[in-house]
Amino acid sequence: MSVKYTSSTENYLKAIFHLQKSDGIVTTNDVANELQTRPASVTDMLKKLKAQKLLIYEKYKGFKLSNEGRKVALQIIRKHRLWEYFLVEKLSFGWDEVHEIAEELEHISSKKLIDRLDEYLGFPKSDPHGDPIPDSNGKFTLPKQVDLLNLPLNKVAEVSSIGDQSPEMLELLGDKGIALGTKLEVKKKFAFDNSLELKIKNQSMVTVSEHVAKNVFVKYDE
């Protein structure tokens, strides 16, 4: 039967899950940095997670989520992303203002609530940032996508996901007229600094840096 975890435990599991995705290996400092806390606090929590069999951990030797830990993390992520979808689609929030609120809502415990919400929303496949929403069993399908640097010239594509989702990045994208679902094509790539000129559908041309280009993912046919 489904056990109840504290919000803190859930936040740690989620952070470790996300760090595992990108790096593979996760360190105490990584987690401290991600959760805006101190390394000593992280070590304390690692021991608790190990005691609950949510983490495989040997001191000084590193750690990773257990199967159970991964399972719990995926359910938190499911809740987070469904609430984000709800906020944008039903309550007309901007995609750049839902993360904080979802950070709280993801800890509401009722399984029935989240399954009803999923149904109410029409079983969406991805959240407002293009990230996949795990189903009730934790399964999800990664959409095939490339970043703008690897998008062929003059190929119309649709923005499907954003890598760096910092407020600064989202503000820049909003300003350039780039949102999830935006149709665009790369018109020119400058070899000098890998900056790109983009034609955004129904808008004028814009220029983006390599840093931005690497964090905007798109889907396109073929």
Partner DNA sequence: ATTTAATTTTAGATTTGTCTAAAATTAATT
Partner DNA sequence: AATTAATTTTAGACAAATCTAAAATTAAAT
Specify the residue, 33 or 165, whose C-beta has the smaller distance to DNA: 33
Among 18, 19, 20, 41, contact with DNA (rule: CB under 7 A): 41
Dist. CA 117–CA 86, nearest whole Å: 8
- Convert residues 149-188 into a mask of x (bound to Mn ion by CB under 5 A) and - (unbound): ----------------------------------------
Range 4-63, binding Mn ion (CB under 5 A): 11
What's at 71, amino acid-wise? K
Specify the residue, 129 or 176, whose C-beta has the smaller distance to Mn ion: 129
Supply angle C-alpha 167, 219, 160, rounded to 5. 25
C-alpha closest to that of 140 among 123, 128, 119: 123
Q: Does 109 bind DNA (CB under 7 A)?
A: no
Q: From the CB of 189, what's the least distance to Mn ion, in Å?
A: 29
How far, CA to CA in Å, does 32 sit from each of 2, 19, 49, 125?
28, 11, 15, 31
List % helix, strand, coil for the chain (3-state, nearest 5). 40, 20, 40
Specify the residue, 44 or 97, whose C-beta has the smaller distance to DNA: 44
Contact residues: a copy of itself, CB under 8 A: 87, 90-93, 100-101, 104-105, 108-110, 113, 116-117, 120
